[in-house]
Amino acid sequence: MKVVISVDMEGVCGVSSWVQVSPPEFGGLVSSAEYERARERMTLEAAAAAHGALDAGATDVLVNDSHDTMRNLIPELLPGGVRFTSGNDKPLSMVQGVQEPGVGALLYVGYHARAGSMRGPLAHTWNGFIRDVRVNGSSTGEYGLNALLAGHYGVPVVFACGDDVAMAEITSELGPQVVTVAVKEGLSSFAAAHLHPREAQRRIREGAEQAVRSAPDAAPYSAVWPAAAQLSFNHQARADACERVPGITRVDAVTVGWSSPDAFHLFQTFRMLAKVGEVRLDG
């Protein structure tokens, strides 16, 4: 079985501040010691999940860097033989690789709670401008959007690790088939109580092995299609810009909506609107 691991950073053990997850400015000379430590722990958690998948008999493991610039992984810390992706603007973004033939499972590493979640450390959805995303009336986060896109290719989500708020949201939306490992307890938007990193990595490896072993019995995530989607921003000017896109309707001051025939259309429309909404607010 081929396995894809989507690894973000905000949900990684030891992370609770934007400083820790912000790469140095492109082309700049300033480097953050905290970021460097966080990207190492991010890679080690991805490596732990990869080891677990291999322990379960995975024949091919692809680790997809899914955070910010998507150039965060330290490849030398991954298990030998594992493939990885890096670089932003990949066709399927955070779940690049699920479209490959033979992929039977998607694993989430370092995942965080959706925008607006109480006590979810660094909770957000995609960027700092988005207030809420709803599919058929239900709020979701990056985990839900990515699960729908993976489901479009017949790939189930079987494992997730990150903060406890995100793990509860994933279980509620994606179901108990997803093996979850909470590596930290959210105390506020910028605080958490963490496991020791080595203990977090041990639990991730064990959980990933369990999840991949049970993957053949897991069902891909889906929705009722066509689906009604809505995207709410933190300022009406962002909705102003998105309303000009053909096929997009205005719902209220900060919200736009659209209809999607399948998960691929929904995901790519969401990505486009998230980018269109990145307008300056000074006129």
pLDDT digits (tens, 9 = 90+) for 6-56: 999 999 999 999 999 998 865 544 568 899 999 999 999 999 999 999 999
| Domain contains 51 | yes
Q: What pLDDT is stored for residue 24 in this prediction?
A: 81
Residue 255: domain span: 227-276
| Domain contains 168 | yes
Active site includes 152?
no
**pLDDT at residue 99 above 50?**
yes
Please tell me the total count of domains within the chain: 2
Strands 191-194 and 60-65: unpaired
Residues ≥6 apart with Cβ < 8 Å to 10: 21, 67, 110, 111, 112, 121, 122, 124, 162
174 and 264 part of one domain: no
Q: What pLDDT is stored for residue 28 in this prediction?
A: 47
121 and 194 part of one domain: yes
Catalytic residue among 51, 67, 112, 124: 124
Helix (H) or strand (E) holding 74: none
CATH number of domain containing 94: 3.40.50.10780
79 and 206 part of one domain: yes
Q: Report the percentage of the chain scoring pLDDT > 70.
A: 98
- pTM equals 0.97
Please tell me the distance from the alpha carbon of residue 85 to that of residue 274, in angstroms, as a whole number. Answer: 23
190 and 115 part of one domain: yes
Please tell me the distance from the alpha carbon of residue 100 to that of residue 185, in angstroms, as a whole number. Answer: 35
61 and 160 part of one domain: yes
Q: Which amino acid is it at 90?
A: K
Q: What is the mean pLDDT of residues 209-238?
A: 98
Please tell me the distance from the alpha carbon of residue 46 to that of residue 7, in angstroms, as a whole number. Answer: 6
173 and 79 part of one domain: yes
253 and 124 part of one domain: no
Q: What are phi and psi of 18, to 5 degrees?
A: -60, -30
Q: What is the mean pLDDT of residues 49-75?
A: 97
Mean pLDDT for the chain overall:
96
Residues ≥6 apart with Cβ < 8 Å to 91: none
Q: 167, 198, 217: which is the final residue of a domain?
A: 217
